[in-house]
Amino acid sequence: MSDSSTIQRLEDLEAGRILGDLSEDEWQELEELSKKHHDALDGSLEWAAAQLEASLAGNRAAEKMPADLSGKVRAGTADFVTDSADEKVTPISAGWWKSAPAAWAVAAVLTVLLALSWLIEPETGSGFAGIDSAPDRIESPFAGVDEPYATVSGAVIWSDELQEGYMRLENMPVNDPAEKQYQLWIVDPSRDEAPVDGGVFDIAEDGTVRIPIDAKLRVDDPKAFLITLEKPGGVVKSSQDVKVALATPS
């Protein structure tokens, strides 16, 4: 069998594995072939099936789990629950920031910083237990910058040691992800003049939200956390046309 036909056969078997229709002979054949050609299977067929499932599942009425099974699943959460607060948590995903040799952020952020004289007192957080109990934990208040974000408040909580943190935000206007998304920038002059992309996020509804920070580069001495409003997906370099909120750890 040529390499080409071998790979085709391997893909055929992998598709069968994902679809759940392999015979025992085919299972053995798949295992043997996948050992010889381990680079040939990249998970893309499994991925395609998941995409298909998710897309078509929207067309059918949701099937419910049996109630007793739901109860068993709930019972299994005990070891994983770290708190039972009911604040919303918004996911954050990294934008496409890699590295830009620009000094735009420091200059612009410092300009904004000087203009601010009404920073709001921070509040005590709960949850995010690891960060909150970190010895080097810092907390700095967020203050709204441009209109209509002047009433935005909250705080940023960060640990250099853990390289983790989160934002607690209040009065953040709901955004339409198809139109605009919020993006966090972390200014750390000790590492680079350019800010670190802290991720793109959405505000889905009014109220207090907690947003985990997902800094893709190491941050050792953050001097400012700035939220901007950007196009969907975020930007590599912000023009800071809309500055939403700023926190400046001392």
Partner 1 sequence: MTASPIQFEEGQILAGVALGREAAMETCISVYGGLIWSIALRYADDRSQAEDVVQETFMDLWKSAGRYDAAVASEKTFVGLLARRRSIDYMRKQRRQPPSEPLMAAESLPEELPEGSGERRVEHAAVLEMLKELPEATRELFTLHFEQGLTHPEIVERTGLPLGTVKTRLRRGLIELRNRLRHLDGPHSNPLSAS
Q: At 155, give phi and psi (nearest 5°).
A: -160, 160
- Residue 92 has a CB neighbour count (10 Å cut-off) of 21
Residue 204 in contact with partner 1, rule: CB under 8 A: yes
Q: What is the DSSP letter of 64?
A: P
Residue from 4, 36, 64, 118 that binds partner 1 (CB under 8 A)? Answer: 64
Residue from 4, 77, 117, 124 that binds partner 1 (CB under 8 A)? Answer: 77
Decide: helix, strand or coil at residue 197: strand
Mask for 34-53, x = binds partner 1 (CB under 8 A): x------xxxxxxxxxxxxx
Distance CA 161, CA 215 (A): 13
Decide: helix, strand or coil at residue 87: coil
Residue 78 in contact with partner 1, rule: CB under 8 A: yes
Residue 173 in contact with partner 1, rule: CB under 8 A: no
Give the range of 60-68, 136-144, 168-176, 185-193 binding partner 1 by CB under 8 A: 60-68
Mask for 98-137, x = binds partner 1 (CB under 8 A): x----------------------------xxx--------
CA angle 232, 230, 162 (to 5 degrees): 95
Residue (117 or 124) nearer to partner 1, CB = 124
Give the range of 77-85, 152-160, 221-229, 241-249 binding partner 1 by CB under 8 A: 77-85
Residue (33 or 112) nearer to partner 1, CB = 33
Residue from 37, 88, 191, 237 that binds partner 1 (CB under 8 A)? Answer: 88
Decide: helix, strand or coil at residue 223: coil
Beta pairing, strands 88-89 & 209-213: parallel
Distance CA 190, CA 194 (A): 10
Residue from 6, 7, 11, 175 that binds partner 1 (CB under 8 A)? Answer: 11
Residue from 4, 66, 118, 250 that binds partner 1 (CB under 8 A)? Answer: 66
Distance CA 169, CA 87 (A): 11
